Amino acid sequence: MNRGEIRTAVKQRLAIPASGDGQLTDTVLDSLINTALAHISQARQWPWLLNTQNVTFSNGTAYLPPDFIMARSLVYDSRPVTWLQLEDFISAPDTDYSGYAWTIVGNQAQLTPVPTTDITTTLYYYRAEPELYSDYSTPVMPAMHHHLIVAYASYLAAIIRQDEGRASVHMAEYNAIMGNMRDDLNQSTSRRIRYRRGYDYATWT
């Protein structure tokens, strides 16, 4: 569904007449749909939101993509770069990691030790759903899951109406759909650990 079709589905769920609703206008509903998308995109590491981008480090620092939510892996010279928590990163100069290590501070990625020249890496990360700017815009989320957007947007609309009863119904539906999606994805994306001979790390496959 595109934004216009999702809005129509939300209207039907809320019994909003064709003449409109003074409280829940099309503009308000469009905003709720985008809020629902943003919420859902951060609820789990959805496979359709996994993205890659070349990231160049200058003086050991690189800006993260503007749609960044969570890192999956940073790769340099065909090998994953060691991820460190901030506390370990701060003390990393005194530790031998047989290569670079990295962490995230604010909206930047940082490497240690600082490379002597600029280096380009590949960042695998989970991105945010792009905002739907027009009625013809469609989510990255597969169409088979769009009813999840309708359920959460309907919940938000019921909150605006201060209708706690309907809000509870829509939230229960959202949680049920979310649970089913997680179960389906867990079954379809099961992974195993593979140790790469000759390297000092293992990878998920």
Q: How much is the pLDDT for 89? A: 84
Averaged pLDDT score across all residues of the chain: 86
- Measured from the Cβ of residue 62, the count of other Cβ atoms closer than 10 Å reads 21
Q: Which residues contact 53 (CB under 8 A, 6 or more apart)?
A: 65, 122, 123, 125
- At 6-43, the pLDDT tens digits run 999 999 999 998 777 888 999 999 999 999 999 999 88
Q: How much is the pLDDT for 187? A: 58
- pTM for the full predicted model: 0.78
- At 72-111, the pLDDT tens digits run 999 999 999 999 888 888 876 655 556 789 999 999 999 9
pLDDT of residue 197 exceeding 50: no
Pick the closest to residue 71 from 110, 121, 126, 122 (CA basis): 126
**Strand (E) or helix (H) holding 120:** strand 119-127
Please give the Cα distance from 45 to 191 (Å, whole number).
14
Structure token digits, residue 151: 């359920």
Residue 188 to residues 75, 109, 133, 185, 191, Cα–Cα distance (Å): 25, 31, 32, 5, 9
Pick the closest to residue 148 from 167, 173, 120, 112 (CA basis): 173
Please give the Cα distance from 106 to 84 (Å, whole number).
15
Pick the closest to residue 40 from 52, 30, 48 (CA basis): 48
| Whether the Cβ atoms of residue 23 and residue 4 lie closer than 8 Å to each other | no
- At 103-145, the pLDDT tens digits run 999 999 999 888 999 999 999 999 999 999 999 999 999 999 9
DSSP 115: P
Q: How much is the pLDDT for 57? A: 96
pLDDT of residue 191 exceeding 80: no
- Measured from the Cβ of residue 195, the count of other Cβ atoms closer than 10 Å reads 10
Please give the average per-residue pLDDT across 157-182, as a whole number.
92
pLDDT of residue 196 exceeding 80: no
Please give the average per-residue pLDDT across 169-181, as a whole number.
92
- At 39-56, the pLDDT tens digits run 999 888 899 999 999 999
